[in-house]
Amino acid sequence: MKRNEQDSILKEQIEYYEARATEYDEWFLRRGRYDHGSKLKKLWFSEVEQVKAELKKFNPKGKVLEIACGTGWWTEQLVKYAEHITAVDAASEVLILNKKKNGQEKVNYIKADLFNWNPQDKYDVIFFSFWLSHVPPDKFEQFWLLVQKALRPQGRVFFIDSLKSEGPEKTYTINNPVNPTSLRKLNDGRTFTVIKVFYRPEKLTQDLKQLGWYFKVKNTTNYFLYGFGSLRKQNRL
């Protein structure tokens, strides 16, 4: 795929989240089109709780950078532990909703395109949820260099992402090795193409090791992938 095609997908990805902002939470709350019955809902929320417990154990304290913060489901968790949060996203609409939910003195919002963002500060913790899967494989290394640049020497990283699901929540992806994409639909029927890369814990751990990162990457049974790590080997790694 040519570079300008990738640029147009990444642009469409931002437009998608701008347009989806007010219905984004239906996905997280398993409502509307994302409601696949009470049994699966219970499973989803029990796995959300599992990841929340892991984040609590990780203890994202100090100065935290949240990359692609979205409407703020995880900002809400981070404010419990962090002294200060810088929350970055490219979509104004999601930043407005996040601010409504979590706006307080210790949360600072930045509107920026992460593929063209030069962080001016260093952080104790960098967090991102459901973002890594939207980074094209050929920008994976560039993204982790951004994380490295924004991290203090003893800094730590925690991320959450989607596990490939085969159930009714299955996301269809076009397995282009350069730019794997997924077609997303809004409630009004509009469709958007986004990048979607599904990772497996072992392979992702190895890929990160090659870039110099020590990570533990795990998954819940059905829905989530999560990982925590740093550039130096620390106790839990």
Ligand X SMILES: C[S@@+](CC[C@H](N)C(=O)[O-])C[C@H]1O[C@@H](n2cnc3c(N)ncnc32)[C@H](O)[C@@H]1O
Q: Which of 77, 89, 215, 223 binds ligand X (CB under 6 A)?
A: 89
Considering only residues 113 through 132, tell me which ones interact with ligand X, judged by CB under 6 A: 113-115, 129-131
- Binding ligand X (rule: CB under 6 A), the pick from 51, 78, 91, 147 is 91
127, burial (CB in 10 Å: exposed 0-12, middle 13-18, buried 19+): buried
Cα separation values, 226 from 4, 132, 134, 179, 209, Å: 31, 11, 15, 22, 16
Report the residue number, 45 or 214, with the smaller CB distance to ligand X. Answer: 45
Please name the helix (run of DSSP H) or strand (run of DSSP E) that holds residue 9, with its range, or none: helix 3-20
76 near ligand X (CB under 6 A): no
Non-local CB neighbours of 135 within 8 Å, separated by 6+ positions: 143, 195, 197
- Closest CB to ligand X among residues 43, 135: 135
Which residues ranging from 17 to 56 are in contact with ligand X (CB under 6 A)?
17
Taking CB under 6 A as the criterion, the residue among 64, 65, 82, 94 binding ligand X is: 94
Q: Would strands 214-219 and 224-230 be described as parallel, antiparallel, or unpaired?
A: antiparallel
How many of the chain's residues bind ligand X (CB under 6 A)?
20
Smaller CB separation from ligand X, 43 or 90: 90
Asked if residues 114 and 96 have their Cβ atoms less than 8 Å apart, the reply is no
- Residues forming contacts to ligand X in the complex (CB under 6 A) are 10, 13-14, 17, 68-70, 73-74, 89-91, 94, 113-115, 129-131, 134
